[in-house]
Amino acid sequence: MKIKAIEPIAVDLPMHKPVTMAGETVARADNMLIRVASDDGHVGWGEAAAAPTMTGETVPGMIAAVRYLAPPLLGAPADELAAASAAMNAVMYGNNAAKAAIEMALHDLVARAAGRPLYALFGAKLRSRIPVLAVLGSGIDADDLREAQVRWAAGYRAFKIKVGLSGPEADAARTRAVCVLLKRQGESSGEACLVSVDANQGFSVDEALRYVSALGNCGLDFFEQPVHAHDLDGMARVAAASPVPIGADEGIHSLDDIERHHARRAAAGVSLKAIKLGGLRAMRDACRLCDRLGMKVNLSCKTGESSIASAAALHLAATVPALAWGLTLTNAGLAEDVTAEPLSIEGGHAVVPDRPGLGIEVDERRVRHEVSARRVA
């Protein structure tokens, strides 16, 4: 089975409501889909979100990158997945989101052609029903508290509060209020409850130190990316002072970055996204590395990614050695998805599909004629 065509498709999907984080508000999702076809008639789908402040990649930029990345793959065996990544890396530096979308589509194609679920390409299924993180991203105390209660009632048992928005003391007060509420719910029902916060690089080192000292003992599980991605010294200072384990997200774009954070004691865990690492296999390798180093892992989609990227993250999550900091899927935040039946999240948990490939069906007619056309208009 050889790769016959690699086609990028720009989509623009509305969100139910904007997600506010430090440095960015995502009100609509600007994503690139990839459709790959094999010479024997199989098709696979991949996706990457534009993330100008995280990967530096935009939809037009990713589509331009695909013009460089596709030619060496055309005619190559579709199931040589490591070779495909190596071929892309040989012709182009960086552009990990564009590479990830192509690599994801190849995984879907190969798994579909074999009639196996995508997770089977990575090994045994270790989890079949996985709690997903509910993101509380209003930045407003009352709204985040209300959303936390609604999500708890709906079955969510893992949460992420966006901070770095309204000053360290006000953010700490909001964190405490939400965290205490959720941890109390967990204790009274006897259920595990994961609560995290994410500053998305929004604090200076001094602000992050003020934030952690104002947190008190509220039971928070981890604090993601307090300061700028490249400020490992700052990360290490916050980690040394913080009662809560520190995670790195925007600072992690490679396995080397993970090693560096570990060596500098700048993070106790990481958030891994396909768009940052360049594909699912790199994510899998990063998970193994974290396991060896004793670092915690959160697997995540970028805000606004549809059922395609969400299904890919879910399949990988089913197989990785450990997933202590949870799984963040994003398709439920979209008012419009690209599949006839969106990946289902029931009671705050995602069920790993056993159908071939990603286990979802992209509505190609809608993608081409409605979603894509609206973008051009």
Stretch that binds Mg ion, among 103-111, 148-156, 191-199, 337-345 (CB under 5 A): 191-199
What whole-number distance in Å separates Cα of residue 329 and Cα of residue 332? Answer: 8
- Sign of the alpha-carbon dihedral angle for 276, 280, 285, 291: positive
Closest distance to Mg ion from the beta carbon of 21 (Å): 8
Size of the site for Mg ion (CB under 5 A): 3
Q: Do residues 338 and 367 touch, judged by C-beta distance below 8 A? A: yes
Residue linked to tokens 């009671």: 347
When the beta carbons of 117 and 131 are compared against Mg ion, the nearer one is: 131
Residue linked to tokens 């990830």: 100
When the beta carbons of 42 and 253 are compared against Mg ion, the nearer one is: 253
When the beta carbons of 328 and 339 are compared against Mg ion, the nearer one is: 328
When the beta carbons of 31 and 201 are compared against Mg ion, the nearer one is: 201
- CA nearest 314: which of 276, 347, 280? 280
- Sign of the alpha-carbon dihedral angle for 97, 72, 109, 122: negative
Stretch that binds Mg ion, among 27-35, 43-51, 244-252, 344-352 (CB under 5 A): 244-252
What whole-number distance in Å separates Cα of residue 257 and Cα of residue 262? Answer: 9
C-alpha 234, offset from chain centre = 24
When the beta carbons of 108 and 249 are compared against Mg ion, the nearer one is: 249
Residue linked to tokens 């194609």: 109
Closest distance to Mg ion from the beta carbon of 371 (Å): 26
What whole-number distance in Å separates Cα of residue 246 and Cα of residue 253? Answer: 17
Give the residue, chosen from 12, 207, 249, 257, that forms a contact with Mg ion under the rule CB under 5 A. Answer: 249
Helix (H) or strand (E) run with residue 63 in it = helix 59-69
User: What is the signed CA dihedral for 117, 121, 123, 128, rounded to 10 degrees?
Assistant: -30
What count of other Cβ atoms lies within 10 Å of the Cβ of residue 359?
Answer: 21
Give the residue, chosen from 57, 198, 207, 305, that forms a contact with Mg ion under the rule CB under 5 A. Answer: 198
- By CB under 5 A, what part of segment 208-237 binds Mg ion? 224
- By CB under 5 A, what part of segment 31-90 binds Mg ion? none
C-alpha 135, offset from chain centre = 12
Give the strands of the sheet with 345-346, arranged side by side.
129-131, 349-351, 345-346
Closest distance to Mg ion from the beta carbon of 270 (Å): 10
Closest distance to Mg ion from the beta carbon of 200 (Å): 6
Closest distance to Mg ion from the beta carbon of 224 (Å): 5
When the beta carbons of 57 and 249 are compared against Mg ion, the nearer one is: 249
C-alpha 17, offset from chain centre = 18
Stretch that binds Mg ion, among 3-11, 58-66, 248-256, 259-267 (CB under 5 A): 248-256
305 is a contact residue toward Mg ion (CB under 5 A): no
171 is a contact residue toward Mg ion (CB under 5 A): no
Closest distance to Mg ion from the beta carbon of 278 (Å): 18
Stretch that binds Mg ion, among 60-68, 125-133, 186-194, 243-251 (CB under 5 A): 243-251
Q: Residue by residue, what is the 3-state secondary structure of 303-315?
A: CCCCHHHHHHHHH
When the beta carbons of 198 and 257 are compared against Mg ion, the nearer one is: 198
When the beta carbons of 21 and 73 are compared against Mg ion, the nearer one is: 21
Stretch that binds Mg ion, among 106-114, 177-185, 196-204, 227-235 (CB under 5 A): 196-204
Binding site for Mg ion (CB under 5 A): 198, 224, 249
